[in-house]
Amino acid sequence: MAQLWGGRFTKKTDELVYAFNASIGFDKRLLTQDIEGSIVHARMLGRQGILTQKETEEITGGLAGILEDVEHGKLAIDESFEDVHSFVEAVLTERIGDAGKKLHTGRSRNDQVALDMRLYARLQVQQTDLLLGRLLEVLVGIMEENTDTYMPGFTHLQKAQPLTLAHHMGAYFEMFHRDRLRMQDILKRMNICPLGAGALAGTTYPLDREYTAGELGFDGPALNSMDAVSDRDYLLEFLSALSIVMMHLSRFSEEIIIWNSDEYRFVEIDDAYSTGSSIMPQKKNPDIAELVRGKTGRVYGDLMALLTVMKGLPLAYNKDMQEDKEAAFDAFDTVRDCILLFTGMLATIKFRKERMAESAMKGFTNATDAADYLVGKGVPFREAHGIVGRLVLYCIEKNTSIDKLPLSEMREISDRFEEDIYDAVSLQTCVDKRLTIGAPGREAMEKVIAIYKEYLK
């Protein structure tokens, strides 16, 4: 047992209590942020005349040495300490003597851990933004190559109207772009420094909170010390945004799993991103997509856990808040891995363009266009809808499609059909006539791709 307190106690902490209370097993990953914050805090104490120049130098030098030694494997994090803060302070004091005991002047572990976690989460937000940026690059690459790769568009998972692979990928570009914007937005709100809040009521020392906030890259110090130590909104916002990222990845995964099925065969997942079966030799399974879909539940769970931890907590710090870490770390790690793996899978996936086009031809995806054709010939839309409905029924009975039906047979259903119907219901016409911005027509799509590329530059 190695703890920072004990003066007012007459008994030793029960071993089970100690273990239950300790957080070093997971907060050790905040070591870098803890030392970074402590160095700035010590420098500020020195500038304010609270520490002598010599003490300041001993402390900052000692802290930098600890970080270096841990990073180079010369110093192991001793998990018998209560938390990472106690470990650092104990090693510092062991190394530099009494000056080490002055580091914690004007500070509490409450503002210290609030700072560490904010610094760590800030990095994670930035990293998520970068990873999403790479996913967008892969998407735009696929879009550029597939403005005339025809495929069926679905509603109710039933073939609806033809579109292109570029257009389908563009929908995901929009989703992941919004995810990026959410990261950038969270960053703006979270970039406030809790250091100097003390346990809850600030301190009596003349701290320079503007200085520490600036040195640590924050926009300014938190303006209420109680809120500073007990605010976890930024983590909740981040976990919400990560949950939305996972929801998008999960929808995309689901489509890839469907497209990879024997019934669809729209895609072939690269061998490097598939797995086999121990019993069925023919199997090549889309495990990565399935795992990404599955891990979505765990990230939602992390968000729910933290929302529930925070609910009903009175001001200010409560030990419940220690529970923010494992949930947040789990979500950070899971989402990072999922974006990385998904991006790799997508970058190497093979789209079977002929299969997609063939599928778009079947299933009467051009029925709307056949009706629009009749409207062009002066038939009211509702009537045209009925005519094409009968045409579809006829085709189903004859096991054929509108574009393959002889004109004579079409004219038995309506004499408004003429030779130009075949061009009107070809895949290319169906898609390319959809020209308004946001639609799959080639010209519209090319404008959108240009906007995306400009954005990614």
Is residue 260 near ligand ARG by the rule CB under 6 A?
A: no
Q: Looking at this protein, which amino acid is placed at residue 265?
A: R
Is residue 321 near ligand ARG by the rule CB under 6 A?
A: yes
Stretch that binds ligand ARG, among 92-100, 106-114, 207-215, 259-267 (CB under 6 A): 106-114
Least gap, CB of 213 to ligand ARG (angstroms): 20
On whether the CB atoms of residues 80 and 26 are closer than 8 A, the answer is no
Whole-number Cα distances in Å, 81 to 61, 142, 233: 22, 51, 29
Is residue 328 near ligand ARG by the rule CB under 6 A?
A: no
Output the CA torsion 55→196→221→242 (10° steps).
110
Q: Residue 34 or 255: which CB sits closer to ligand ARG?
A: 34
Least gap, CB of 39 to ligand ARG (angstroms): 19
Distance CA 411, CA 387 (A): 11
Q: Which long-range contacts (CB under 8 A, 24 or more apart) does 103-106 make?
A: 103/38, 103/41, 103/42, 103/59, 103/63, 104/4, 105/45, 105/50, 105/51, 105/205, 106/41, 106/45, 106/50, 106/196, 106/198, 106/203, 106/205, 106/207
Q: Residue 312 or 378: which CB sits closer to ligand ARG?
A: 312
Q: Residue 7 or 378: which CB sits closer to ligand ARG?
A: 7
Among 120, 273, 317, 417, binds ligand ARG (CB under 6 A): 317
> Half-sphere exposure of 191 toward its Cβ, with a 13 Å CA cutoff?
16
Stretch that binds ligand ARG, among 301-309, 317-325, 337-345, 358-366 (CB under 6 A): 317-325
Is residue 110 near ligand ARG by the rule CB under 6 A?
A: yes
Active site residue 156: yes
Least gap, CB of 106 to ligand ARG (angstroms): 16
Q: Residue 115 or 256: which CB sits closer to ligand ARG?
A: 115
Q: Residue 302 or 432: which CB sits closer to ligand ARG?
A: 302
Catalytic, out of 38, 108, 156, 261: 156
- Which residue reads 């002929």 in tokens? 354
Stretch that binds ligand ARG, among 41-49, 96-104, 285-293, 316-324 (CB under 6 A): 316-324
- Residue 57, both tokens: 């130098």
Among 109, 167, 177, 416, binds ligand ARG (CB under 6 A): 109
Active site residue 277: yes
Is residue 165 near ligand ARG by the rule CB under 6 A?
A: no
Q: Looking at this protein, which amino acid is placed at residue 291?
A: L
Is residue 113 near ligand ARG by the rule CB under 6 A?
A: yes
Residues 20-39 that bind ligand ARG (CB under 6 A): 23, 27
The H or E element that residue 351 is part of is strand 350-351
Least gap, CB of 332 to ligand ARG (angstroms): 16
Distance CA 93, CA 71 (A): 19
Which x/- pattern, by CB under 6 A, does the window 187-226 give for ligand ARG?
A: ----------------------------------------
Stretch that binds ligand ARG, among 118-126, 278-286, 291-299, 313-321 (CB under 6 A): 313-321
Q: Residue 23 or 243: which CB sits closer to ligand ARG?
A: 23
Is residue 322 near ligand ARG by the rule CB under 6 A?
A: yes
Least gap, CB of 45 to ligand ARG (angstroms): 20
177 three-state secondary structure: helix
On whether the CB atoms of residues 162 and 430 are closer than 8 A, the answer is yes
Q: Which of 179, 157, 307, 184 is nearest to 247 (CA)?
A: 179
Q: In 44-169, at which residue ranges do the beta strands (DSSP E only) sit?
A: 150-155, 158-164
Least gap, CB of 23 to ligand ARG (angstroms): 4
Least gap, CB of 116 to ligand ARG (angstroms): 9
Stretch that binds ligand ARG, among 59-67, 185-193, 319-327, 383-391 (CB under 6 A): 319-327
Q: Residue 115 or 303: which CB sits closer to ligand ARG?
A: 115
Residue nearest to ligand ARG according to CB distances in the complex: 322
∠ CA 125-232-104, nearest 5°, is 95
Q: Which of 97, 142, 79, 78 is nearest to 351 (CA)?
A: 142
Distance CA 435, CA 443 (A): 7
Catalytic, out of 72, 80, 225, 277: 277
Burial 209-239 (b: 16+ CB within 10 A, else e): bebbbebbebeebbeebbbbbbbbebbbbbb
Q: Residue 28 or 134: which CB sits closer to ligand ARG?
A: 28
Least gap, CB of 199 to ligand ARG (angstroms): 7
Q: Looking at this protein, which amino acid is placed at residue 253?
A: S
Q: Which of 414, 409, 408 is nearest to 398 (CA)?
A: 409
The residues carrying an active-site annotation are 156, 277
**Contact residues: ligand ARG, CB under 6 A:** 23, 27, 83, 109-110, 113, 317, 319, 321-322
